[in-house]
Structure 1
Amino acid sequence: MTGWGAGQRVRIGILTKVFTAELVDAAIAKHGRAERRRRLLPAWLVVYFVLALCLFARESYEEVLRVLTSGIPGSGALARVNRSSLCRARARLGEDVLETVFRQVTGPLATPATPGAWWRGLRLLALDGTQFDLPDSTSNGDTFDGPSATGGVPFGFPQVRAVVLAEVGTPGVLDARLGGYRDGERGLAYPLAGSTGPGDLVIADRGFWSVEFAHVFTMGGADLLVSLQSNHLGTAQEELPDGSYLSMARPGKDVRLRAAREGRTLPRHVIYRVIAFAKGDKVAYLGTTLLDPEQYPADELVALYRERWEIELAFDEIKNHLGPGGPIRSRTPEGVRQELWAYLAVHHAIRQFAHTAALTRPTVDADRVSYLKCVRIVRRSIPSQLGATAAKLTRSFAEAGREARARPLPARRGRECPRAIKKPNRWPVLRTRARRDTVQPGRWAHNRTTKQPPSRKTGTQGNPSLVTA
């Protein structure tokens, strides 16, 4: 087999309605990744293969390719394709094509009929950062870095830091930026301001607020509701009837100098509203650019801030329900970024499917449509949709939506849970590059039967012994 015919395009189940052949071809052409000769693994097939890897995160490369192409006339030659060929095909495709696919499919999902997506005429958006564990390869560790023990000894997995902007009501991802473990969330968040505009209320956690952050997001017309640290309360200007007060903050000298070097202009000061509220036995603070206490009551804003946690559920869906629940597959930096853009694109497509199902009469909250159930429906649809026409895909999309909402989840409870570390790492592991630099030609053996703290000198658990190769 030397190529694929026009009628031999694979399908990715009901998600083909989102990831159309025209969309994939446009992304490939934009970055000049089209083949100059006929290949067994053309670029468009590799795009669908990478998307399918996210749907079947625990399956091997060969099994995912078999599920994706079984039933296609003339696809028998793909049975001889091995993992190394698929890895080379991913490398030829690069990361830019999948990023473009993500940016083409992403966009606002909420409509005026979407429950929980709006508050007093404002569309609710959540902004937050998270980390994705990566395979412990030398290139991943050198490029992205990761947690380190005392003395700078790396332990655990290398990690990518992602800052994501998502809708609260759906929750579909609108935009994202990827960086290394040492990159600050605030710096990664600045470009996301371009995906907001008038009528949007961006809810963010502590650590994001600054004069520059407020300026960047409000320039486009968006409003902010951000948790404040105690050193970001500014200078009180006026007390308001509801107990909140207007405050003023000025950019620091370092911020002004950096902006001047980059040719940017910052305001001399910003005015924002500070709301104090009781959080357990402590006092917490919110900062908002919604200054009118009558139109935007303080007690409603305090209750509204809880909705930021919807983005944490989106992270859980991507990592654990859609993803492998641990490190992703790719062992090269370009492959990591390619895979993460694919995860974000597939998550948005499944959220679009769930939202469409939720709006079917009678309308239910999108929270009550099980995301895991939607993932399973999409997985099952791939073998049954090979060679399907566009009309059949549309019917299948609607039928699958009725199945997804057949037994909705119970209404979300208003519960509270204190912050806790759910994945403690008491076993520092020397990464490949650190092990090669420090203990060659041997390796550290850890005594996992003891519960002693890591040694400050070695960064290892208990009594480390050097085992020679």
Structure 2
Amino acid sequence: MRNSTPIFPGFHLQTLRRKPRSAQQKLAEKMAVLQQKSFKQIGEVFEKFIPLALLKPELSGAMSRRRLFSKENTFWAFFSQVLDADGGCKEVIRKLQSYASIKGIKVPSSSTASYCTARKKLAEPMLADILAHTAEQLEKMPATGMLNNRRVIVADGTGVSMPDTPENQAAWPQSSALKPGCGFPSARICACFSLDSGALLSYAIGNKKNNELPLFRQQWETFNPGDIFLGDKGFCSYFDIAKLQDRGVDSVVTLAKRAPVRAASSLKKLGPDDLLITWERPKYAQILSYSKDAWANLPKKLTLRQIKVKVPHPGFRTRGFYIVTTLIDAARYPAEDLAELYFKRWDVELFFRDIKTTMGMDVLRCLTPDMIRKEILMHFIAYNCVRRLIYEAAEEADLEVRLVSFKGSLQALRNWEPHLNQAKISKAERFRLISDLYESMTNTPIRQRPGRSEPRCRKRRPKNYQLLTSPRQVMKEVPHRNRYHAGTA
């Protein structure tokens, strides 16, 4: 028989025991864990790159209540969605369901309605502030000493398509060459990247009627005095070169629209195929994309430098081209260094490939312009965060950042994420896992093959399906007349 006498005077064994919890309390505690952790799994890796103050609940109105799809949870769910290989809203719900199942909680509904409603409540200015913060954090990383330690910003444009909805068509109409119902809305994006870090610094969105220059001019505030702008022939503009120079920004662009200046007409010969030249202000015409007053304020002449670059590598589309630059000091900026800098301009094509192909932004999913803009912003935020992770991994491995594969890093991150965010993992174990993640990201550096040429040709043929030449709802297939059904006749 147990002795009911107290162990110590005034102390009863029952008072030392925790009061039993009811089933309702246990369920509430599990639901609290679900709300706190289920969508922050990817955030455990990246939250130090994101200003958490911006993710706090609002004081009132939308995103002010603490619920499963809170402001913070919705942001990290959206973030995880754009990094995921599938990229669909249903994938987010499946993650939530699996997490609930692991915790022994009733599995939530498979409906995406609550999540989609919560995404709509995320404020676009808040996402823009987060993107600016990620760019600033990347720019604080140690520079690699490119072109006299000056920051080089490279700009380029690209296009994305999206679901064929009336709202998207109104904002970003499809090409006029396509019949109604047979094409997709397409947006034009011009973005500025840091050539050194690969950080996306700014962007502007337009439709098919916008070319790159007007979109680029919306991003002049991205440049600081002392920066160097690097662009292809689409940015060869007297107006832009002059205006950037007024801001203390030098330009390096490919010559276009003007004939090369001959040595006899130049101011001075600085070296072989290296000339100091002047450009006359172009005559004003209505087709110019700036006003007559802006044209009148331009300098009547620009003193520039023209460098002819020869391409000795076989297989390239061109055997040579001309570079025009405001860097006229040949001793400080040799022609060979500027030619090498321009060859690195190709990196911007790889940056866009990382975002559009590797991360899947080439074809967007949202059905309204408001959500399309947020989807683009989330892709850019996630891209910058992965770039920052690559920087840390490269620094840990004492490796050049350009040698770390973006796709390989994203693959490693996707597979390490579930293990990094286990609830019971210790700090020491988390540190070991992150070290192994960095090792996985950097243990296979990208092979450098200067002068490598690959023709833009596809070896694998697409399936030989017929083209949609009429709206799908009115297009009728006639099997006995359709050569695509010949195999089943």
TM-score, length-scaled by structure 2:
0.76
Q: How does 1:439-458 map to 2 (within 5 A)?
A: 442-443=474-475
How far did 1:217 drift? 2.4
Bigger drift between 259-268 and 62-71 goes to 259-268
TM-superposition CA deviations, 1:306-346 (whole Å, max 9, x none): 1001111111111122226x512212111111011100110
Query: 1:449–1:128: structure 2 CA closer, same or farther, 3 Å change rule?
Result: farther
Contact 2:266 2:275 in 1 (8 A): no
What secondary structure is seen at the aligned counterpart in 1 of 2:475?
A: strand
Bigger drift between 303-312 and 421-430 goes to 421-430
Whether 1:375 and 2:406 are equivalent positions in the alignment is no
1:183 maps to which of 194, 205, 210: 210
Aligned to 1:245: 276
What secondary structure is seen at the aligned counterpart in 2 of 1:118?
A: coil
Aligned to 2:185: 158
Query: 1:102–1:216: structure 2 CA closer, same or farther, 3 Å change rule?
Result: same
One-letter amino acid of the structure 1 residue matched with residue 116 of structure 2: C
Q: How does 1:328-407 map to 2 (within 5 A)?
A: 328-361=364-397, 363-383=398-418, 384-385=420-421, 395=431, 398-400=434-436, 402-407=438-443
Whether 1:209 and 2:236 are equivalent positions in the alignment is yes
Whether 1:272 and 2:307 are equivalent positions in the alignment is no
One-letter amino acid of the structure 2 residue matched with residue 302 of structure 1: A
Distance 2:425 2:201 in 1: 29
Q: How does 1:6-405 map to 2 (within 5 A)?
A: 8=36, 10-12=40-42, 13-25=44-56, 34-67=62-95, 71=99, 76=105, 79-80=108-109, 82-107=111-136, 109=138, 114-115=143-144, 118-149=146-177, 156-231=183-258, 237-242=266-271, 243-254=274-285, 258-259=290-291, 265-279=297-311, 283-323=320-360, 326-361=362-397, 363-383=398-418, 384-385=420-421, 395=431, 398-400=434-436, 402-405=438-441
* Runs of 5+ consecutive residues of structure 2 not aligned to the other structure: 1-27, 312-316, 485-489
TM-score, length-scaled by structure 1:
0.78
Distance 2:32 2:245 in 1: 50
Distance 1:217 1:397 in 2: 46
What secondary structure is seen at the aligned counterpart in 2 of 1:131?
A: strand
How far did 1:124 drift? 2.6
One-letter amino acid of the structure 2 residue matched with residue 340 of structure 1: I
How far did 1:210 drift? 1.2
One-letter amino acid of the structure 2 residue matched with residue 374 of structure 1: S
Bigger drift between 153-162 and 283-292 goes to 153-162
What secondary structure is seen at the aligned counterpart in 2 of 1:163?
A: strand
Distance 2:372 2:52 in 1: 24
In terms of Rg, which structure is larger?
2
How far did 1:237 drift? 4.8
Q: For CA contacts below 8 A with separation 6 or more, give which structure has more relative contact order.
A: 1
Distance 2:240 2:452 in 1: 28
How far did 1:391 drift? 6.5
Query: 1:127–1:398: structure 2 CA closer, same or farther, 3 Å change rule?
Result: same
Quick one: percent identity of the two aligned structures?
21
What secondary structure is seen at the aligned counterpart in 2 of 1:287?
A: strand
Distance 1:226 1:414 in 2: 21
What secondary structure is seen at the aligned counterpart in 2 of 1:319?
A: helix
Bigger drift between 256-265 and 126-135 goes to 256-265
One-letter amino acid of the structure 1 residue matched with residue 373 of structure 2: R
One-letter amino acid of the structure 2 residue matched with residue 132 of structure 1: V
Contact 2:403 2:446 in 1 (8 A): yes
Bigger drift between 262-271 and 297-306 goes to 262-271
Query: 1:421–1:410: structure 2 CA closer, same or farther, 3 Å change rule?
Result: closer
Query: 1:141–1:225: structure 2 CA closer, same or farther, 3 Å change rule?
Result: same
Aligned to 1:460: none
Bigger drift between 193-202 and 397-406 goes to 397-406
- CA RMSD between the two structures: 4.0
Distance 1:194 1:399 in 2: 38
Bigger drift between 304-313 and 135-144 goes to 135-144
What secondary structure is seen at the aligned counterpart in 1 of 2:379?
A: helix
What secondary structure is seen at the aligned counterpart in 2 of 1:306?
A: helix
Distance 1:146 1:393 in 2: 52
What secondary structure is seen at the aligned counterpart in 2 of 1:161?
A: strand
Query: 1:213–1:393: structure 2 CA closer, same or farther, 3 Å change rule?
Result: farther
Contact 1:132 1:161 in 2 (8 A): yes
What secondary structure is seen at the aligned counterpart in 1 of 2:225?
A: coil
Bigger drift between 76-85 and 250-259 goes to 250-259
Contact 2:82 2:379 in 1 (8 A): yes
* Runs of 5+ consecutive residues of structure 1 not aligned to the other structure: 451-469
Query: 1:155–1:315: structure 2 CA closer, same or farther, 3 Å change rule?
Result: farther
Distance 1:275 1:408 in 2: 37
Query: 1:29–1:37: structure 2 CA closer, same or farther, 3 Å change rule?
Result: closer
One-letter amino acid of the structure 2 residue matched with residue 249 of structure 1: E
Distance 1:111 1:240 in 2: 39
Contact 1:159 1:181 in 2 (8 A): yes
